[in-house]
Amino acid sequence: MIVAIIPAAGEGKRVGFTIPKQFFSIKDVPLIIYTLKTFENHPQVDEIIVATSSNYLNYLEKLVIQHRFKKVKKIILGGETRQASVWAGVRAAPYNTEIFLVHDAVRPFISANLITKIIEATLKYQAAIPAIPVRDTLTQVEGGWLKKNFPREGLYQVQTPQGIKAEILRFCLNQAEKENLLFPDESSLLLHFGYFVKMVEGSLLNFKITYPEDLILTQKLMEGKIISLLEGLKTDEDSLDK
């Protein structure tokens, strides 16, 4: 069984809206619905668990019914951190879960093809994440002045969904809780406990909505032909692989 966990309890303060960014509507549809729809329609995903805040539990339940999602089996109370929300999702998942896919609620442009590649790599390597090469120069800034630049060769930006064999994620999250350790994502968690993580080529379109500019870009993409573009990625990515 493959279970997707969508942590959606964050407040998204950096965007500057009065509601969490995952519930911001574009074309009258909350962002999280676009995200959930891709996992709902993926043939290899068996179940979806969403962890959200207490203020949005009822609202999200209504949205799931409204959009007739059948794979969203549980909407649970998330934690104060992403890690806590993921851990809550893992504990709520069926015992026979083989693979967990952890995906940010505010990455609405995830393609079905990328989900498939993560699943295949996780089955083969136990853990896999999508990532894209860093394109710009990285620098350290202190007091508004450039302090030190870093070469970008070999550096990648990590994305989601992050695929992990169920027993590995359960073990690592349990250990992190015992040791009072907090990690920004699952790949950091796994690396800390000595597990290898396979990198799969991600997509520039699979960006995380973090700042107001991201919402403007998302809105423009939604108004265009983004769905057709995502569907076309399967052919384009496969041809690039060859």
Domain edges within the chain: 2-241
Whether the pTM exceeds 0.85: the reply is yes
Strands 99-102 and 156-158: unpaired
- Give the helix/strand (H/E) hosting 96: none
Q: How distant is the alpha carbon of residue 214 from its chain centre?
A: 16
Residue 40: count of CB within 10 angstroms of its CB: 18
**CA pair distance 242, 234, nearest whole angstrom:** 13
Residue 108: count of CB within 10 angstroms of its CB: 28
Could you give the residue ranges of the DSSP H alpha helices within 67-140?
82-92, 112-125
CATH superfamily of 2-241: Spore Coat Polysaccharide Biosynthesis Protein SpsA; Chain A (3.90.550.10)
**CA pair distance 195, 51, nearest whole angstrom:** 25
**CA pair distance 86, 122, nearest whole angstrom:** 18
pLDDT of residue 236: 42
Return the SS3 of 58.
helix
The answer to whether 207 and 109 have CB atoms below 8 angstroms apart is: yes
Ordered mean pLDDT values, 10 residues apiece, the chain (242 residues): 95 68 90 97 98 95 96 96 97 97 96 98 98 94 94 94 98 98 97 98 93 85 64 44 38
pLDDT of residue 15: 54
